[in-house]
Homo-oligomer: A and B are copies of this chain.
Amino acid sequence: MRIGDLASMTRVSVRALRYYEEQGLLASTRSESGQRLYENAAVNRVRLIQQLYGAGLSSKTIAELLPCVDAKVSTPESRERLAAERDRINTQIAELIIARDRLNDIINATSRPSPECDYV
């Protein structure tokens, strides 16, 4: 498939896909005329990339990780890196929970007094 197809299937912009390639996250073959061609597997690859981005990993970190995923093997260094990221995510989850609860407190504190009298 071509880049536009992959873009619509993953809901990721064409620009972003080219960026992923530039960062070494996503490979493509080229047609004779130079257009990018992707396998169906690219859809899942892009989804994985998005997930890792969503978890706060940088392109550089993801680029270091993906070879492990592909080879299904990790070096001690990359395992350490993976574990460090996991821990960071756990910390972030904990912080988010605190923030969410804090936000709920605010919502409650500002709503409770007199619900029918909230103009101010």
Contacts and interface: CB of A to CB of B under 8 A. Distances in A.
A86 B73 CA distance: 39
A46 B22 CA distance: 39
A41 interface: no
B96 A55 contact: yes
A99 interface: yes
Interface residues of A, number: 42
Interface string A82-95: 11011001101101
Contacts of A82: 103, 106-107, 110
A68 to B, nearest CB: 5
A96 B93 contact: yes
Contact of A72 (B71, B78, B89, B109): B109
